[in-house]
Amino acid sequence: MKKFIITKEYNNITVGHFLKEIIGYSTRNLRNSDVYLNGKKVKLKKKIKSKDKLIVAELKKGTNILPIKMNLDIIYEDNNLLVLNKPAHLIVHPTKKKVDKTLANGVVHHFIESSGLSSVPRFFNRLDMDTTGVIVVTKNAFSQALLQNKNKVKVEKYYLAIVDGIIDDDEFIIERPIGRVGDNIKREELSIENGGQIAKTKVNVIKRFKEKNVSLLKVQLFTGRTHQIRVHLSLEGFPIIGDSLYGPEEQPVDRQFLHAFQLTIENLDSNKKQRFFAKLPQDMREFLNIN
């Protein structure tokens, strides 16, 4: 439930205009919500006045995802967000072949324990099964829509990756369109004319480990294509250690060494900024012999 007190600059506009254009609700959000003006349920075409009290009550939807108790590594939680440090070897969403023991199953159980409601887990960002780190779950449709509204919220995503080879340049940007050919899960460089999507990745070398012939990278995503970091680094000749899909089939470790270590959310209206961190996981630290 969201509450708003109307200020004088919004006097005499409609409820719908205020909620969509000013606050950031989507049409879908409002279709699944009841709206009350000064205690009375109203339609979106109703006009508002200064000092009016507006309430948006989202209609609660249950989920058929099976709740399973898990030891979730919770980074942050409030009424709108649940931020987790995702471990390796864990699928985020149930699939046709895997309906339980996914992160979504654990989140649903957590929601039931904390609020008594079997709420839909809305994942804002997605991580591959073997990618670790910060993953954000929104607790309501409004928070999900707000984070997806680039005019309201700026989101920055940073990863750490261990790649095969010593990279000479300290910093560079990869801009190569990628896409999928047919039903193949593997993505590849593909021209826009042939269905590829624009993809942009910034890379900074943190440290070179010459004795192991690997580099530790900080990677920032500017677009969010499937497997983007894995594809881009492989195309540049530096596949991620452990990534048998985009690197050699034989690997020294049992997963790709890619970790979502920071996600920053900035509300452009209020300038409020939240930063969420997840430290480098133990297997990546052990591989590099760092504490």
Measured in degrees and rounded to the nearest 5, phi and psi for residue 216 equal: -95, 125
Q: 147 by DSSP, 3-state: which? A: helix
The Cα 4–Cα 51 span in angstroms is 9
CA atoms within 13 A on the CB side of 240: 28
The Cα 22–Cα 224 span in angstroms is 26
- Tokens, residue 164: 């095969």
Contact 240, 165 (CB under 8 A): no
**What pairs with residue 200 in β-bridges?**
175
For tokens 């070398």, what's the residue? 205
Contacts of 137 by beta carbon, 8 Å cutoff, 6+ apart: 81, 82, 83, 84, 107, 121, 122, 123, 124
The Cα 81–Cα 24 span in angstroms is 17
Q: Answer yes or no: 128 catalytic.
A: yes
The Cα 151–Cα 244 span in angstroms is 38
The Cα 94–Cα 86 span in angstroms is 15
User: Catalytic: which of 128, 130, 164, 243?
Assistant: 128
The Cα 237–Cα 239 span in angstroms is 6
How many CB atoms are closer than 10 A to CB 208?
A: 16
Annotated catalytic residues are: 128
